Structure 1
Amino acid sequence: MLAVISADLLASSSYPKELLERVIQSLNREFNELEKLSAKDTKFQIYRGDSFQGVVHAPEMALLFALRIKTAINRLHLKDRDTNKAFKREADLRMAIGIGTSDFTRDSVLESNGEAFQFSGRTLDELKNENRKLKLRTSNMAVNGEFNTSFFLFDTLSDKWSTASAEVIYYLLKGFKETEIADELGISQSAVNQRKKAAGWDAIEALLDRYQTVISQEFVHGK
């Protein structure tokens, strides 16, 4: 069993050239960092300039990978890079996670096939016709129902993020402590804590824990 993440940028045709360039750079940088967390090649690849797909060989980690990619993009803005103020988000993603088997593996993720790839790709197509940004599909309908309800709530929460909120969540997902984030961003620890609470970190952390537990039980340990 493995997970496949398929995604595309929302309204990318309206992005200024500088923003699109920063998005592509950020995606490639994040793909390289996530590669180091995986025992096998994730094969994340950008195609058409505004879409990407990759493999997560530990499916219980797929949501963490997806949220790291999302927040890496949500935190971007074209304002003064030395400014740590909160701005309206300028870039966002639509993402689908598919968990299943892989029947045909090629060097390019775009040429690979199997249940996980089909689940992910078809679900991303469904998202284009829905007011949703994150969705899961597996062979287990109960698991799909639980997490797609939770992901709908997460969409509502994350839609309210500013770039500053997304940036704090990004570093928390990387395992940074509040003091380390404060040093990284050049702000006070209390400011980090305020942004953390405003972004709903406690709920996000609970969702990540629940996802890892259920996916491990259902698909990793062969329940």
Structure 2
Amino acid sequence: MGRVAVISGDIVSSTSLIPEDRLMLHDRLKDLITDLSLKFDTYGRVLKGDYVECVCSNPHESLAVALAIKSYVKAIEVNAGAKSSDKNRIKLFKTHGIRLAIGYGELTTLDVENGVIDGEAIYLAGRKINEQSGRKKKRVVIKQTLFFESQEGPLKEQFDPVMGLLDVLISKATARQSEVLYWKLMGLNEDEIAEKFGVSQSVINQHSTSVGWNAIEETVSYYNRTVKRDQP
């Protein structure tokens, strides 16, 4: 098996969600995994209700997949619990949605039937997410939630600032802008999204412009070309 990309991610502030929202989130993530497999030929799974792993056999598409996951989660509406600390953490969920790391490298095992994923790519992604997890901290400070990890030094150096800029851009998106971004990443045009939302194309265009779609699309294309060139 050649180089692949594995995306690992954990939901921000998932423990502060009310039980109904945690169940809803789990079901929505399972739906997302199915949609991504149909669009991008990925293999994904949801673990413990709030942790996602997704293998991209076409690694050049992994940034589009990661951004689709992030925008999908940010579009999910959730309710804050009664405690003020929960409300503050829910604000973090609405801002960031999910931490994601793209691990780019070899896989020694991909046994879909038995759910076994092993190798450099998943190790790189999982380790980065574990480093960033704030589960054991009383106060969660989030500086970045989108990462690219690889033993290929020049490639990592090239993509680190890209991930940081995309992270800042998407963190400012509203739930509706995130939803528009998701459907664009999934290949729908503005007329199709407008029909899905029951609004005019101009409204979708406004959301698209506000979320910075042109810059995101160009960045995804740049990533696509760069990773393709790295393939043996």
Task: Give the TM-score normalised by structure 2.
Answer: 0.83
**Structure 1 CA distance, aligned partners of 2:208 and 2:39?**
24
Task: Quote the residue 1:83 is aligned against.
Answer: none
Worse overlay, 118-127 or 57-66 = 118-127
CA shift for structure 1 position 68: 1.2
User: What amino acid is aligned across from residue 202 of structure 2 in structure 1?
Assistant: S
| Paired residue secondary structure (2:204) | helix
CA shift for structure 1 position 164: 0.8
| Paired residue secondary structure (1:94) | strand
CA shift for structure 1 position 108: 6.6
Q: State whether structure 2 residue 146 is matched by structure 1 residue 134.
A: yes
**Residues 123 and 57 (structure 1), Cα distance of their counterparts in 2 relative to 1, 3 Å cut:** same
**Residues 203 and 5 (structure 1), Cα distance of their counterparts in 2 relative to 1, 3 Å cut:** same
Task: Quote the residue 1:143 is aligned against.
Answer: 155
| Paired residue secondary structure (2:7) | strand
Contact 2:17–2:78 (CA<8 Å) still a contact in 1? no
CA shift for structure 1 position 91: 7.0
Task: Give runs of ≥4 in structure 1 deviating > 6 Å.
Answer: none
User: What amino acid is aligned across from residue 11 of structure 1 in structure 2?
Assistant: S
Task: Quote the residue 1:94 is aligned against.
Answer: 99
Task: Quote the residue 2:130 is aligned against.
Answer: 125
Contact 2:8–2:102 (CA<8 Å) still a contact in 1? yes
Q: State whether structure 2 residue 34 is matched by structure 1 residue 32.
A: yes
Residue deviations 1:6-54 (CA, integer Å, cap 9, x gap): 1100000111223222321221111111212355xx4412112211212
Q: State whether structure 2 residue 51 is matched by structure 1 residue 51.
A: yes
**Residues 157 and 91 (structure 1), Cα distance of their counterparts in 2 relative to 1, 3 Å cut:** closer
Q: State whether structure 2 residue 173 is matched by structure 1 residue 161.
A: yes
Residue deviations 1:141-189 (CA, integer Å, cap 9, x gap): 1211221111111111111111011011011111111111111101121
CA shift for structure 1 position 207: 0.9
CA shift for structure 1 position 60: 0.5
CA shift for structure 1 position 140: 1.5
**Structure 2 CA distance, aligned partners of 1:59 and 1:43?**
12
User: What amino acid is aligned across from residue 97 of structure 2 in structure 1?
Assistant: D
Task: Quote the residue 1:114 is aligned against.
Answer: 119
**Structure 2 CA distance, aligned partners of 1:160 and 1:147?**
21
**Residues 12 and 109 (structure 1), Cα distance of their counterparts in 2 relative to 1, 3 Å cut:** farther
Task: Quote the residue 1:84 is aligned against.
Answer: none
Q: How many residues align?
A: 210
> What RMSD over aligned residues (CA atoms) do the two structures have, in Å?
2.1
**Residues 204 and 57 (structure 1), Cα distance of their counterparts in 2 relative to 1, 3 Å cut:** same
Residue deviations 1:171-214 (CA, integer Å, cap 9, x gap): 11111111111111011211111111110101110110011000
Mapping for residues 173-192 of structure 1, pairs under 5 Å: 173-192=185-204
**Residues 203 and 191 (structure 1), Cα distance of their counterparts in 2 relative to 1, 3 Å cut:** same
**Residues 91 and 217 (structure 1), Cα distance of their counterparts in 2 relative to 1, 3 Å cut:** closer
Q: State whether structure 2 residue 77 is matched by structure 1 residue 77.
A: yes
Task: Quote the residue 1:15 is aligned against.
Answer: 17
Task: Give the TM-score normalised by structure 1.
Answer: 0.86
User: What amino acid is aligned across from residue 36 of structure 2 in structure 1?
Assistant: L
Residue deviations 1:111-167 (CA, integer Å, cap 9, x gap): 422111111111212333762111011121121122111111111111111101101
User: What amino acid is aligned across from residue 53 of structure 1 in structure 2?
Assistant: E
Structure 1: where are the runs of 5+ without partners? 80-87
**Structure 2 CA distance, aligned partners of 1:91 and 1:131?**
10
